[in-house]
Amino acid sequence: MPLIAELKEFTLKKILVIHGPNLHLLGQREKDIYGETTLAEINKQLQDLAKKRGIQLDILQSNHEGDIVDAIGKAKTNQFKAILINPAAYTHTSVAIRDAILAVNLPTVEVHLSNIYAREDFRHNSLIAPVCQGQISGFGVHSYILGLEAAISLINSRS
């Protein structure tokens, strides 16, 4: 690894961003609910903000619960200081993701593009929110921006 990259790796605080199932289809998927912004555009906005704040972001999108559980489980070993997650449909079903967050014990912020409390009843319950520092829901792409700001202030207040 070049020296500059090595130094950056060493000095920048790292946040793990996880996008759950079907979020790779943003921009095509139920646009009336999720808007027209693609996942690549959201990631670009997150990376721009992280750069301004001196944070390194690693971003994962997966449709597979086990991959998400694996990434969370390794987050501390991989030097992440916080997790920003949109668990998507797993919000409402995944005991495994909830347990992984509990196990790794890193500050975690849950985000949703849509307001899950204004939608179908089955979306009103999040199994993930009770093990997070907080949840941001309903502000479209801005939920991610607010969520990242929250995660950054959590890690800055801890160091």
The length of the chain in residues reads: 159
- The one among 62, 86, 94, 135 contacting ligand DQA by CB under 6 A: 86
Catalytic member of 19, 34, 90, 144: 34
Stretch that binds ligand DQA, among 5-13, 72-80, 87-95, 145-153 (CB under 6 A): 87-95
Q: Is 61 in the site for ligand DQA (CB under 6 A)?
A: no
Closest residue by Cα to residue 98 from 20, 32, 26: 20
Total residues contacting ligand DQA by CB under 6 A comes to 10
Q: How far apart are CA 52 and CA 62, in angstroms?
A: 27
90 is annotated as an active-site residue: no
Residue 84 CA to residue 17 CA, distance in Å, equals: 5
Is 92 among the catalytic positions? no
Q: Which amino acid is at 33?
A: I
Tell me the three state secondary structure of residue 124.
coil
SS3 120: coil
CB-based contacts of 37, cutoff 8 Å, min separation 6: 26, 27, 140, 141
Q: How far is the CB of 119 from ligand DQA (least distance, A)?
A: 7
Select the residue interacting with ligand DQA from 91, 94, 108, 135 (CB under 6 A).
91
Stretch that binds ligand DQA, among 8-16, 43-51, 63-71, 84-92 (CB under 6 A): 84-92
Q: Which of residues 14-33 bind ligand DQA (CB under 6 A)?
A: 22
Give me 140's structure tokens: 């479209």
For residue 94, which amino acid is it? S
Residues carrying an active site annotation: 34, 112
Binding site for ligand DQA (CB under 6 A): 22, 86, 88-89, 91, 112-114, 116, 123
